Structure 1
Amino acid sequence: MANPIITIPLDPQTAKAYNSAGPEEKRKIQALLSLWLRELTVGEFPSLQEVLDQVGRKAKARGLTPEMLDSLLKGA
C-alpha cells in the first residue's frame, strides 16, 4: 500500500531546501515529520522544547548530521 500524500504550506526557503534534497535526505525528513505528527496526535502535548529535543535525538540516531540539516535549511 502506498503512503498517503498530504500538502503542507511552507515558506519558500524550506520548500526549496526540501525539493533540492536528495532521495535519502527526503526519506529522513519524511520519517521525522511522520514521527512528529504521530506524537502530536497522541493526546498529551509535550512542550515545544521537548519535541525539538526528541526530533533532534531521532534525527541524529538516523544519521542526520548538523551539517546536513544546515545544508537542507539553506537550500544547498
Structure 2
Amino acid sequence: MMVGICDSLERSGHVRRERAPGDRRAYAVTITDSGHRELARAEAAVPAFLDDTFESLTPAEREQLSDLFGKLLGAHG
C-alpha cells in the first residue's frame, strides 16, 4: 500500500525517491517544492473541513469528541 502511495506522489511530482546510501533495499523519499505547496494547501483546508464535518455538534459535543480522540491516541502512542 505504501509503495502505491509513493508511486502516485512520485508520478505527480510531489516526492522524489532515490536509493538510500548504504542499503540497496531501501529508498529515501524526499518531498519536492510541488509537494510542499500541495501540503500547505491541504493543511490550510483542514479547519474549514472540520467545521463543515462537525457543524451539527454543539461546542460541548465537539470538546467531548476531541477528548475521546485524545484518549484513544494516548492509549496507542
Whether the TM-score (by the shorter chain) exceeds 0.5 is no
TM-score normalised by length of structure 1 = 0.34
Q: Which structure is higher in strand share?
A: 2
